Structure 1
Amino acid sequence: MTTTLPESVTSAAAEAVAAVLPAPTQLVAGAPVVGDAAAVAEYAGAAVAELLLPGAPRVAVLVGAELVEALAASPMGGLDLAAATQPALDAAAAALGASCGTAREVSLDQVGAEIGGSFALVPLLGGGTPAGALLVSDAATASAAAVESGGVPPVLQSPAMGSAQGMAASRGIEMLHGVDMEVTVELGRTHLTVRELLALSPGAVLELDRAAGSPADLLVNGRLIARGEVVVVDENFGLRVTEILDETAVG
């Protein structure tokens, strides 16, 4: 069967999303299907954005539990799903011949209402199983197809709008690169009673729960993420990182 233009446009958008959506394995776009509430409910999170096309149609990215849990367990604290999926939505919009607005996280039961009307769902497969999905409203594919065929002119942009859209391409987790985090190096710990604390005086020695020569802990916002050895750098103490800990090793 010959692929229709709207279906080919949707598949191209899904392939663009698969290339940039965070995942432990490379994602590939599956075959588009008619979307419904039952299909949406199989995923764990969703983000939606408006396309800068006539009628402001919308697209959405669905993600699985693995990405939602990874964002929640980040050493920097819970990260925003909308920010994490913004590059994917930008990629989908570009494949549809447009730009998109800022992503918004929405609940799964509100996805249909946010998209507005019927939509296509393209599963994004990682290792053969769905790890995410792209939702494209029928209005979006029709509008994108019309733009591609020359039937509808692109949305007119003011200089200010064009500048804002240029910034959209760089949104995502990288927006957090300038956020200050509290980094602490911990040599060890001990427990004291109030009486022992009050008895402290200059010259007192506290025994820590760490053997001499053991690595020190590196904590970010109170969360252990690495270990290393204490060094001296230009008369200041420093930490040479020797081990980066994953979530299973922290405990």
Structure 2
Amino acid sequence: MTETVSDFAAAAAEANATAAAEAAAQVLPAVEPLTAGPAQPGSPHVTAAFAGAAVADLEAPVPGRVAILVGQDLVTALANSPLGGLDLHAAIHPALEAVASQLGTRVRGARTVELEALVGELAGPFTTVPLIGIGIDAAVLVTDDALSGAREPVAEPGLDSAGRAASAGERVETTQPFTAPLQEPAARPYVMIPGQRGLEMLHGVDMEVTVELGRTRLTVRDLLALSPGAVLELDRAAGSPADLLVNGRLIARGEVVVVDEDFGLRVTEILDDAAAV
């Protein structure tokens, strides 16, 4: 009986990991559509075939962390973006959130980490699910405590792809072919993607866009003295154009307008790299 319960718990964790990876595959930038391969125990060699990594903590009540590994194509596209170098964790944040949502929570503190530091960041046993496109283009890593603390899997873990029940202790087979084991460090051939195609990977990436009217500086005493009705003088004259910032980087200026009772910005100037510095 104990073995049966243990087998079911392992199958449930595997189902949770696979479902989380499938959710990430839908929103992760990629040249070709991604599909989730079979879940497998994590290995310290898992980073060998990848070029970048981001990790995030999970919010209560689900403990643990999740991470996503990506290939050189996405790392290169982010570095060569016409909007300047973009942070990997910002670009794949929707994928991290998709993983967390599937587990029944949200992420916090997402950050880009060095490949050699990733396994240490996970701080414990984890499960790996490869994301397969042209090859193994990415991978989702979920700590085992996150899988055990996640909500019930959306699919019955004891069913195979044809809907047949698996007996206790029997491994459920998947129809997804697995091209190479992630446990062994192996470099897969990388074909350079033309610049335009690499840029297309970023077309669906969400970016934080901010309109800034101006700034000022206050002492702590002045900040603590703020009250309703206080007026702050900004470092910009009335009628001056507002700044448009993307992920904190100034890219344009424009006039503040009202659109259907909401504020908007009419862009009047696009700044090139030299002007924006």
Task: Please state which band the TM-score falls in when normalised by the shorter chain.
Answer: 0.5 to 0.7
Q: How does 1:93-242 map to 2 (within 5 A)?
A: 93-127=100-134, 129-144=135-150, 147-148=151-152, 173-176=206-209, 178-179=244-245, 180-181=250-251, 220-221=272-273
| Matched residue, 2:32 | 25
| TM-score normalised by length of structure 1 | 0.60
Q: Secondary structure at the match of 2:132?
A: strand
Q: Secondary structure at the match of 1:102?
A: strand
Query: Contact 1:45/1:62 (CA < 8 Å) preserved in 2?
Result: yes
| Matched residue, 1:230 | none
How far apart in 2 are the matches of 1:123 and 1:148? 22
How far apart in 1 are the matches of 2:11 and 2:109? 29
Query: Contact 2:63/2:149 (CA < 8 Å) preserved in 1?
Result: no
| Matched residue, 1:5 | 12
Higher mean displacement: 28-37 or 83-92: 28-37
How far apart in 2 are the matches of 1:4 and 1:136? 15
Of 46, 55, 65, which aligns to 1:48? 55
How far apart in 1 are the matches of 2:90 and 2:108? 12
How far apart in 1 are the matches of 2:22 and 2:272? 36
Query: Contact 1:121/1:133 (CA < 8 Å) preserved in 2?
Result: yes
How far the C-alpha of 1:34 sits from its partner, in A, is: 1.4
| TM-score normalised by length of structure 2 | 0.55
How far apart in 2 are the matches of 1:52 and 1:102? 10
Query: Contact 2:56/2:109 (CA < 8 Å) preserved in 1?
Result: yes
How far the C-alpha of 1:98 sits from its partner, in A, is: 0.8
CA-atom RMSD in angstroms:
2.5
How far the C-alpha of 1:41 sits from its partner, in A, is: 2.0
Q: How many residues align?
A: 164
How far apart in 1 are the matches of 2:118 and 2:86? 21
How far apart in 2 are the matches of 1:219 and 1:181? 5
Q: Secondary structure at the match of 1:37?
A: coil
How far the C-alpha of 1:78 sits from its partner, in A, is: 0.5
Q: Which runs of 5+ in 1 are unaligned?
A: 150-171, 184-217, 224-251
Query: Contact 1:41/1:109 (CA < 8 Å) preserved in 2?
Result: no
How far the C-alpha of 1:54 sits from its partner, in A, is: 4.0
How far apart in 1 are the matches of 2:119 and 2:89? 17
Matched residues, percent identical? Answer: 43
Query: Contact 1:89/1:100 (CA < 8 Å) preserved in 2?
Result: yes
Q: Which runs of 5+ in 2 are unaligned?
A: 1-6, 154-204, 211-243, 254-269
- Structure 1 runs, 4 residues or longer, greater than 4 Å off: none
Higher mean displacement: 3-12 or 133-142: 3-12
**1:68 aligned to 2:75?**
yes
